[in-house]
Structure 1
Amino acid sequence: MLIFVIVFNLFLTLFNLYIAFRLWRLRRVLARVAKTLTMVERRLHRIFYPAPEVVLRGKQGTHELRQRYHRLLVQIELIEKIFSLVSLGIGIWRRQMRGKRRLRSEKLFPAV
């Protein structure tokens, strides 16, 4: 019986040592994981900390670009109207010039 108790205690001691060793290794792994995650979090913080400011600047730049685009559209419409008026003027001027040529040619060569 005494031998059984000694062997059983020895087995329990070895089992506890095995569990302690596994817990010690798990603690080391978890410490490395925590260290890595902390490092990643710091780097991400450095990368993304200025992000709101950059987004706001981009938003402002986009707003200014849209305003400039709208002004250019208004200017293009104005130029198209001017070209349309000039084209209309040239067309009227040509018709008047054709009419004057006919009158001149009829004066020079009257119909018989």
Structure 2
Amino acid sequence: MTDSFYKYHVFFCLNQREPGADRQCCANCNAAPMQEYAKKRVKELGLAGPGRVRINKAGCLDRCEEGPVVVVYPEGTWYTYVDETDIEEIVVSHLQNGQVVERLKIDR
């Protein structure tokens, strides 16, 4: 266990940019439903709560061109994803079993 309040604290970028913005945004890439899916799965697997896992919403995490993005702390592992299959792999592999999902990492 780390010194952190949570074993894993997970932030999903849900930033929404104005139409015609120069940069893409995670909200336009299905980020909100994916955050809700992760939150639901963590609860279903009994991983939620203090000392365990917390799934949070975040504003812009400033990695728009690599998005949608999610970051897992305390280690600072950055992921991108496409759908629920990717989120499921992050939840089960990383949050439940402690194994980073290399194929979804942004900083490889």
| TM-score category, normalised to shorter length | under 0.3
Larger Cα-atom Rg:
1
**Normalised TM-score (structure 1):** 0.21
